[in-house]
Each structure stands twice: as structure tokens, then as C-alpha cells.
A and B are shown apart, each in its own frame.
Chain A
Amino acid sequence: GENVEQHPSTLSVQEGDSAVIKCTYSDSASNYFPWYKQELGKGPQLIIDIRSNVGEKKDQRIAVTLNKTAKHFSLHITETQPEDSAVYFCAASIERNQFYFGTGTSLTVIP
């Protein structure tokens, strides 16, 4: 099956700086890559996603890039704010209901 690795496991940045989280996947058939943000006491919330026919997608301060050849994708958060502090999960999905999640990155934005 698919194996998704996520790095780093923890990340601290100063407010206003950028944060980058990287994930690799093993199955070249994966074609959907969502990113989820999980705040304390809440379930994961989708923040951005990308499909395999697109190389980059941006939504305000958040962007995701996908390199299908290298089988990795990254989350970029610019101009970080304290409310960006949370655990971020990447996932890779193949058709037919299988989401494979990374182990999460705990992001702390220092005011």
C-alpha cells in the first residue's frame, strides 16, 4: 500500500516568517493530495488540496506544490500568524476510498 512520510515533526517559526512542510509518497498511482489543519480539541479541517494534474495551487497565504516525478508535495504558509499554530497533516489518496495520512507536523508560530 501507499506510504506517506512527513517532515518535520515539529516546526517553530517567528511570526511573519514562512513555514514549509514536506511530504513524500510511494505509490505513483496516488492522484489526490489534501492538507489538513488540526487545532487542539478539534478534528482535522481541510485547508488546501491539489490533484495530480496540477503542479501548484495557492489560496491567500497558503500554497501547495506537487512534484509527481519525485513523488513529493509541500505546504507553504507565508506571513505566518499565531493562529496558524496547529498540527498539519498531509495525505495521499488513490481512487477507491483510501486516504493515507502522514504523521503530522506541529507548527508553533512565535509572536
Chain B
Amino acid sequence: ETGVTQTPRHLVMGMTNKKSLKCEQHLGHNAMYWYKQSAKKPLELMFVYSLEERVENNSVPSRFSPECPNSSHLFLHLHTLQPEDSALYLCASSQGTGVSFGTDTQYFGPGTRLTVL
């Protein structure tokens, strides 16, 4: 185990549903990330939080809404998704201190397999 947990592990939702993905890290890290993993494509960075502040939003559609209430928890709120949003959503964390924490090792959770019908 990496110290990063994600729930649920699998989620099936309709296009009109609202659901949330949860990530929790037990590593004492200060930075947390959401990635989207689709088949045959590189991992796509969606959001980055450092010390509970969003520092990166890579042109993600507004139907994805992140929330970071504290440095140990990260949520991804989903609403009005499209079938092409079906993918594995990965959460990661890193030490995340200082301005150059982009080169810190990232530790990934097991992911949430999302299927949008």
C-alpha cells in the first residue's frame, strides 16, 4: 500500500447524476493531485493542490469540481458527465513544500474506475 486510499473503487453513473470521488493520504504530504487515465493515452493532470490551495487547473471542464478541505483529503465532485469521461481517476500526493515541489516523488492511490452511461 502506498498510503493513498481512494473510494469508491468503482462507480457507474448516469449523465444526470451527481457523485463524488474521495481521496485520503496518510503520508503527511502537503500536495495532492487528480489525474485522469484513459486507454492508450498519457496520464492527464487535472488539478493540483498545495497546502489546500489549488495551484493548477489544466483546462478541465467545469463538470469536474475539486475540493480540498485539508491537506489529507481531496474530493472530485462530478455532475452532468459525458460518456467520454469514463476513465480511471487517480489521486496522488507528494511532499509539496516550496516552489519547486514539481520534482517531488508522487505516490498514487489505486484509482476509481468511473463509467458514465
Q: How many of chain B's residues touch chain A, expressed as a range?
A: 20 to 34
Please determine whether A99 and B45 come into contact, CB atoms closer than 8 angstroms.
yes
- 15 residue pairs of the A-B complex, CB under 8 angstroms, read A4-B42, A42-B111, A43-B6, A45-B108, A46-B106, A46-B107, A89-B42, A95-B99, A95-B103, A96-B99, A96-B100, A96-B102, A99-B106, A103-B40, A103-B41
CA A26 to CA B100, docked complex, whole Å: 20
Which of these, A42, A45, A99, contacts B102 with CB under 8 Å? A99
CB-based nearest A residue for B100: A95
Total A-B pairs in contact (CB under 8 Å)?
A: 66
Give the distance to chain B from A81, nearest Cβ to Cβ, in Å: 22
How many residues on the A side are at the interface (Cβ–Cβ under 8 A)?
Answer: 26
Q: B interface vs A, CB < 8 Å? A: 2, 4, 6, 31, 33, 40-43, 45, 48, 50, 55-56, 90, 92, 99-103, 105-111
